[in-house]
Structure 1
Amino acid sequence: MPDLLIELFSEEIPARMQAQAADGLKKLVTDALVERGLLYEGAKAFVTPRRLALAVHGLPGRQADQREEKKGPRVGAPEGAIAGFLKSAGLASLDQASVQSDPKKGDFYVAVVEKPGRPTPEVIADIIPAIIRGFPWPKSMRWGSGSLRWVRPLHSIVATFGAEGDEPEVVRFEVDGIVSSNVTYGHRFLAPAPITVKRLDDWMAKLEAAKVVVDRDRRKDIILNDAKDLALANGLELVEDEGLLDEVAGLVEWPVVLMGAFEERFLDIPDEVIRATIRANQKCFVLKNPATGRLANRFLLISNLVASDGGAAIVAGNERVIRARLSDAKFFWDTDRVNGLAKNFSKFEHITFHEKLGSQAERIERIRRLAVEIAPKVGAEPALAEEAALYAKADLLTEVVGEFPELQGLMGRYYAQGENLPPEVAAACEEHYKPQGPGDRVPTAPVSIAVALADKIDTLVGFWAIDEKPTGSKDPYALRRAALGVIRIVLENGLRVRLRNLFTQGFEYHYHRHGGSEDMRNYFGAGTAPNEKSFGTLDDLLSFFADRLKVHLREHGARHDLVDAVFALEGQDDLFLLVERMTALARFLETEDGKTLLAGYRRAVNILRIEEKKDGRAFAGPTNAALLKEPAEERLADAIEQVKRRVATAVAAEDFETAMTALADLRGPVDAFFDAVTVNDQDPALRENRLKLLDEIRAATRGIADFDRIGG
């Protein structure tokens, strides 16, 4: 079956746009083909800095013929209706229509419209120009006197269609004066002459001969493997960087790896600063000395051509730029160390964190107070937590972080170490930002934990207080990430902290600090402490945490309904204990006792709901022992009392496995009750007492979880 090849040849496409553009071209073209009845066997997109291409395999040579029956008006219908029918069906007269009979509706006209399929090249010639004109580039431009908008000036279009073994035809169309053809161009410098191409394999082979590797993944493999080999040949190791690899693969069509060097004196700068400098300014890879584990004074650059001098001039040019950039970095590093972190404290008073939440200095003070509160709960020394909270944000105003914001925290650690601050304080300067994503590690040092929790809780409480919550897909202050960070820190460190208490403390600090005082008074009211409105917001924040916890646990295979069931109980804000209870409940519900008890519980609750709705009132225990007439209901009442006591004792001891074992003892009495006892007895007193007994089953299970919320 024939194949389609499309290539859009232009000036350099920004590397950041290339992958999305390739996916977009593939989707737009294949969707349009399928919409027109042209099914295909496979498609692959290609992108280089100067071309965007697509190959579609296994297309039919033409569309299938279409035959459609178009139902018209009844025989004898008004002339206007008949005229409209003839026009819509494309008929000259009723002689071209047939008459069909319907037992209920009578005779009516039917037109058979046959539409022959068009040759595939004609369909493609209609599709591609519209896609090119409306292509969704993030940014585009116009050039010359034309009206076409494209990411960069578009020079030529290849469009061929044909089966293997045949000479493919050129799909003829025109876009803003650019006429499609079978001619493309090779490497800008190494092989700029025009090249006539046929199908995909021919196109790829001829471009490779013209120094263009069209497959992005293959360019990445070439760069990575050649970089590793060159590093190994010099006794060094490549510091791999997937993001940089993606970027440089979009900057070259014929990758050539070259090595450059810089002066050893720059190795006094932290490795991360060297790497950020070389990466950001020259898109070069850094190398590590395996003997020391530190960076070597070498780097790898990716050239887009094979130079006649072996790349000496290219390397020398990059070395000049990198030397200048590293000189700046060293100046920043030396200046910051001379100034010291404490010099930045007073500057935060003049920097606004948020117009409704005060300055950065006021935020740091809130974090300090919260860290001191949290420290004993996580095994940290309060004085160290306080000092760490004061220094944690100080590197934000350093020269290095101003140049490379991605190094915030890490530079704080380096500067704190250089000032001989306690190791716990230095570690917290870096680690209090963590975790910054699902794959990031969580802090484990107690002081780091205290400051990290304080930082995230202050952020959450503050933005909740001013009603700047996440909505839908919008989360401009990364509050979901902050909540997930708190959850992971607590769970992965096995911490026993009460969120409600910490959030309440956070609200109070926001209220009592004068930062944004008018907004806080407007929010909390005129009193001296948070009022009922703030506690409603506190419940809303806890609910938000429950949702984040469900997402987190679901990603680890847990059932979200069990999180709901446990979180629904009053006072469940100890995340570690909540997960322990939920895990024990999940194991219990997998047993035969658990499944049977859950079924019995649902039967009891369903009966209760029906009868409560019928009577218009609730039936709440306790039961009247004198009205327990049947042995089965007596045994169930006794079992419930015993189970409630045993569950309460076990839960108080945080022994959830024992609590589940106690709960399992309800299975037999519940089953026996439903087998032997009629709940809706004719005696109203017996009926009410038995309905209360059903409510007692619900009360017994509430010691563990809200079974109403358990699905499945």
Structure 2
Amino acid sequence: MTAPSNLLVELFVEELPPKALQKLGDAFAQVLLEQLTAQGLATGASQCTAYASPRRLAAHITAVLPQAADKAVSQKLMPVSVGLGADGQPTPALLKKLTALGADASAAAALKRVHDGKAEVLYFESTAKGALLAEGLQKALDEAVAKLPIPKVMRYQLQDGWSSVNFVRPAHGLVALHGASVVPVAVLGLQSGRATQGHRFEAAASPVALRDADSYAAQLRDEGAVIASFAERRAEIVRQLQAAADKVGGGVRPIEDAALLDEVTALVERPNVLVCQFEQEFLAVPQECLILTMKANQKYFPLLDAEGKLTHQFLVVSNISPQDPSAVIQGNERVVRPRLADAKFFFDQDRKKTLVSRVEQLAKVVYHNQLGTQGERVERVRAIAKAIGAQLFEALAAQHRIDGTQDAEVVQDYLMTCVDNAALLAKTDLVTDMVGEFPELQGIMGGYYAVNDGLPDDVAHAIEDHYKPRFAGDALPRNNVGLVVALADKLETLVGMFGIGNLPTGDRDPFALRRHALGVIRMLAERDLPLDLSALLAAATPAFGGKIEDATAQLADFIYDRLAGSLREQGYSAQEVDAVLALRPQRLALVPKQLAAVRAFAALPEAPALAAANKRVTNILKKAGEVDAHVNPELLQEQAEKDLYVALQRFVPEANAQFLAGDYTGSLQTLAVLRAPVDAFFDDVMVNAEQLDLRLNRQGLLKTLHDAMNRVADLSRLAA
């Protein structure tokens, strides 16, 4: 068999969609490798390198065979009783089958007999020639093009003037090299060759004639002025961005934005980073506005100072490298200036009206056809925030977590006033010019305009923060007023959408209900808020009047499911999470302590036996129905049940005291001493005695045990 060589396949196309480029390149290469491997042309030792630039998708695959190895094929024909007559000669049915397989009657003698458990069956054994690379690559290439995850398909006409094809962008070239030899394949109306195109303006050679598969990246770089690898191009941009920032000096750094970096990498073939600037007067506009317009509209990298403040300089990643870059720099500075001027105009105009004066406009903005306008929504958020605020501030005051140097009632009144103002004004920036142009700035601009209106910082911060956390890892609202309004806003969305049956599906969640649920979880847990989940849901539902059905139970299940997933991602086992969440804990801030206690308990030598016993107790009580946790000592007859009763009387009060003090680990470890009396009880005592009073008393004893053991978690879930 001829030795393997490396393979290079490239599709040269018009500019590909930048946000999808990396995914397209990886998928193209991966499907080619999978298909060649399936045909025996590539092996497990073959390595695949994906290339993706604005105008090409390519794959380099090592150790590809010119022809796959021959394969032995064993084909089931028919039972012996059907294929052979009484004299052992082939029947007409067998002869017909052999003819169809390209064999003659003489092959009948060589057929293999195998008993399949029911009868003897005839098998025809032959050797299938391995696939040639040309035919195997053609199949792989067709599959790779068909399976490409194209965000939006284009239909275009081929050069013959009659045929048309569907693809992500019009394709103009196909390269297929096995070593130095062209593999004859065709796709999208193109025939394979060895020529590709380099940079539109800076290629040293056009076209670039590839010597062999291994010279692809080097020739494109040297002759075509193209960095073909997405990863290498991205790394080069990162290097140049940092080098340019270092050259500017003063501790400035380019803004970090992975999505922007990926998009720019997909827009250039050979990056060249240049430093530009704009007039410092624009810095009077909130930096979020300037940063967003530079990133979203121009794909620029703003420069921040050491304190994270925007400077008047920014970086451009150009696709050309002229000797004198001044024209490119001036062009980009000229282009960005109107964008910044628009932002300044919107900011100046918006500040001419107060947020309070915009509240009425929200009544004209539709939120949802079943849930009314944004104005109606604001009133619901206000009502929910009022209920949550009352719960929270009273609980914090009781825990002395509100400033005790002032009158508690005065502080609570102030905070409740701030909550109501923030809830009333939180959505008003939706009708400002700035947010109309840049919806991503909702909340942020509300905070700036609240400061401009002279509102307290607590209100301004709450307006800015009420959307937080916006994404995984995002910061939480910075004060209690913001937490209350953020909780109210997210609960209004969750309760409303569940109440009208608008639930997320496997791949669709248009109202971001999963993110809202995780936001509620994070705020309750990470800020240690003394709020019960059921009380929050109950407080949110009345705000809707008769617009919705009560879906509180379904919503609670949804939130606990999100919590379970989040905890598993944090490294807790499914058993640990299941044990704690089976009790539906109301204070989510305490869940991590409960999990830690369960983990410590599970490490004890007594844990497996107690978990198994707990499971047994759970099953007994489930069958018994309603059982009262009451024990009459005078009805205890067996020594084992007397010993268990004594142990419970001795250790349960201590465990309960530890539980109430928040020492969940200590509580479970105290109860671990019950293993011996529990084991003895099940060995020596018949729980379901025929005598009714004995049976009820023993069930009451087990109910007492069950209640004591399962305050932290359902320990039966730890049983194997």
TM-score w.r.t. structure 2 length?
A: 0.87
Distance of aligned partners of 1:687 and 1:109 in 2 relative to their CA distance in 1, 3 Å threshold: same
Q: Distance in 2 between matches of 1:683 and 1:342?
A: 74
Distance of aligned partners of 1:463 and 1:219 in 2 relative to their CA distance in 1, 3 Å threshold: same
Structure 2: which amino acid aligns with 1:249?
A: T
CA deviation string 1:649-688 (max 9, x = no partner): 5544544345334423422321333455566779897677
Q: Distance in 1 between matches of 2:627 and 2:356?
A: 66
Q: Contact 2:14–2:171 (CA<8 Å) still a contact in 1?
A: yes
Q: Distance in 1 between matches of 2:77 and 2:605?
A: 64
Distance of aligned partners of 1:72 and 1:97 in 2 relative to their CA distance in 1, 3 Å threshold: farther
1:618 Cα deviation from its structure 2 partner: 7.9
Structure 2: which amino acid aligns with 1:218?
A: E
Matched, 1:591 2:604: yes
Q: Distance in 2 between matches of 1:582 and 1:240?
A: 36
In structure 2, the residue matched to 1:92 is 104
In structure 1, the residue matched to 2:243 is 229
Matched, 1:263 2:279: yes
In structure 2, the residue matched to 1:69 is 74
In structure 1, the residue matched to 2:587 is 574
Q: Judge which range, 660-669 or 495-504, deviates more.
A: 660-669
In structure 2, the residue matched to 1:392 is 426
Q: Distance in 2 between matches of 1:227 and 1:645?
A: 65
Matched, 1:169 2:203: no
In structure 1, the residue matched to 2:6 is 3
Distance of aligned partners of 1:98 and 1:304 in 2 relative to their CA distance in 1, 3 Å threshold: same
Q: Distance in 2 between matches of 1:564 and 1:433?
A: 30
Q: Distance in 1 between matches of 2:184 and 2:119?
A: 51
Distance of aligned partners of 1:661 and 1:179 in 2 relative to their CA distance in 1, 3 Å threshold: closer
Match of 2:475 among 441, 445, 451: 441
1:333 Cα deviation from its structure 2 partner: 0.8
Match of 1:473 among 507, 526, 529: 507
Match of 1:324 among 328, 331, 338: 338
In structure 2, the residue matched to 1:710 is 718
In structure 2, the residue matched to 1:547 is 561
1:228 Cα deviation from its structure 2 partner: 2.0
Q: Contact 2:31–2:143 (CA<8 Å) still a contact in 1?
A: no
Q: Distance in 2 between matches of 1:407 and 1:294?
A: 17
Distance of aligned partners of 1:240 and 1:499 in 2 relative to their CA distance in 1, 3 Å threshold: closer
Structure 2: which amino acid aligns with 1:301?
A: V
Matched, 1:114 2:99: no
CA deviation string 1:273-303 (max 9, x = no partner): 111122222211112344x753222222122
Q: Distance in 1 between matches of 2:574 and 2:437?
A: 43
1:384 Cα deviation from its structure 2 partner: 1.0
Q: Judge which range, 642-651 or 201-210, deviates more.
A: 642-651
Q: Distance in 2 between matches of 1:107 and 1:264?
A: 90
Q: Contact 1:133–1:149 (CA<8 Å) still a contact in 2?
A: no
Distance of aligned partners of 1:476 and 1:289 in 2 relative to their CA distance in 1, 3 Å threshold: closer
Root-mean-square deviation (Å): 2.9
Distance of aligned partners of 1:646 and 1:478 in 2 relative to their CA distance in 1, 3 Å threshold: same
Query: Matched residue of 2:351: which SS?
Result: helix
Q: Judge which range, 227-236 or 544-553, deviates more.
A: 227-236
- Pairing 1:46-61 to 2, within 5 Å after superposition: 46-61=51-66
Distance of aligned partners of 1:34 and 1:627 in 2 relative to their CA distance in 1, 3 Å threshold: same
TM-score w.r.t. structure 1 length?
A: 0.88
Q: Distance in 2 between matches of 1:543 and 1:640?
A: 34
Q: Contact 1:86–1:94 (CA<8 Å) still a contact in 2?
A: no
In structure 1, the residue matched to 2:400 is none
Match of 1:22 among 21, 25, 30: 25
Distance of aligned partners of 1:293 and 1:586 in 2 relative to their CA distance in 1, 3 Å threshold: closer
CA deviation string 1:560-606 (max 9, x = no partner): 44444444447x42222444344333323322344442233345556
In structure 1, the residue matched to 2:675 is 667
CA deviation string 1:513-549 (max 9, x = no partner): xxxx5x44xx4xxxxxxxxxx3xx2222222222122
Q: Contact 1:235–1:289 (CA<8 Å) still a contact in 2?
A: no
Distance of aligned partners of 1:88 and 1:621 in 2 relative to their CA distance in 1, 3 Å threshold: farther
Q: Contact 1:122–1:171 (CA<8 Å) still a contact in 2?
A: no
Matched, 1:508 2:576: no
1:47 Cα deviation from its structure 2 partner: 0.6
Q: Distance in 2 between matches of 1:704 and 1:597?
A: 14
Match of 2:310 among 295, 299, 309: 295
Distance of aligned partners of 1:18 and 1:705 in 2 relative to their CA distance in 1, 3 Å threshold: closer
Q: Contact 1:70–1:89 (CA<8 Å) still a contact in 2?
A: no
Distance of aligned partners of 1:450 and 1:64 in 2 relative to their CA distance in 1, 3 Å threshold: same
CA deviation string 1:71-99 (max 9, x = no partner): 43421189552244214432233446525
Q: Judge which range, 40-49 or 229-238, deviates more.
A: 229-238
Query: Matched residue of 2:165: which SS?
Result: coil
1:468 Cα deviation from its structure 2 partner: 1.6
Q: Distance in 2 between matches of 1:279 and 1:125?
A: 42
Match of 1:366 among 366, 369, 380: 380
1:224 Cα deviation from its structure 2 partner: 2.0
Structure 1: which amino acid aligns with 2:175?
A: V
1:488 Cα deviation from its structure 2 partner: 0.6
CA deviation string 1:95-149 (max 9, x = no partner): 4652555689888654332212233233213432453366442223233333222
Match of 1:155 among 159, 172, 179: 172
Query: Matched residue of 1:325: which SS?
Result: helix
1:486 Cα deviation from its structure 2 partner: 0.9
In structure 2, the residue matched to 1:248 is 264
CA deviation string 1:156-189 (max 9, x = no partner): 1110002xxxxx2100123344210011121111
Distance of aligned partners of 1:158 and 1:634 in 2 relative to their CA distance in 1, 3 Å threshold: same
Q: Contact 2:19–2:263 (CA<8 Å) still a contact in 1?
A: yes
Distance of aligned partners of 1:333 and 1:101 in 2 relative to their CA distance in 1, 3 Å threshold: closer
Q: Contact 1:97–1:110 (CA<8 Å) still a contact in 2?
A: no
Q: Contact 1:101–1:107 (CA<8 Å) still a contact in 2?
A: yes
Distance of aligned partners of 1:694 and 1:87 in 2 relative to their CA distance in 1, 3 Å threshold: farther
Distance of aligned partners of 1:293 and 1:659 in 2 relative to their CA distance in 1, 3 Å threshold: closer
Q: Distance in 1 between matches of 2:538 and 2:121?
A: 77
- Pairing 1:179-258 to 2, within 5 Å after superposition: 179-191=191-203, 193-209=206-222, 210-236=224-250, 237=252, 238-258=254-274
Structure 2: which amino acid aligns with 1:266?
A: F
Match of 2:93 among 67, 81, 91: 81
Q: Contact 2:5–2:63 (CA<8 Å) still a contact in 1?
A: yes
Instruction: Count residues with an aligned counterpart.
Output: 679
Match of 1:635 among 620, 626, 643: 643
Q: Contact 2:271–2:318 (CA<8 Å) still a contact in 1?
A: yes
Structure 1: which amino acid aligns with 2:544?
A: H
Q: Contact 2:13–2:171 (CA<8 Å) still a contact in 1?
A: yes
Q: Contact 2:196–2:207 (CA<8 Å) still a contact in 1?
A: yes
Query: Matched residue of 2:270: which SS?
Result: coil
Structure 2: which amino acid aligns with 1:248?
A: V
Structure 2, gaps ≥5 residues long: 397-411
Match of 1:279 among 295, 300, 305: 295
Structure 1, gaps ≥5 residues long: 163-167, 512-516, 524-533
Percent identical:
37
In structure 1, the residue matched to 2:190 is 178
In structure 2, the residue matched to 1:530 is none
Q: Contact 1:496–1:577 (CA<8 Å) still a contact in 2?
A: no
Q: Judge which range, 294-303 or 693-702, deviates more.
A: 693-702
Q: Distance in 2 between matches of 1:418 and 1:264?
A: 21
Q: Distance in 2 between matches of 1:391 and 1:296?
A: 31
Q: Distance in 1 between matches of 2:286 and 2:241?
A: 23
Q: Contact 1:89–1:111 (CA<8 Å) still a contact in 2?
A: no
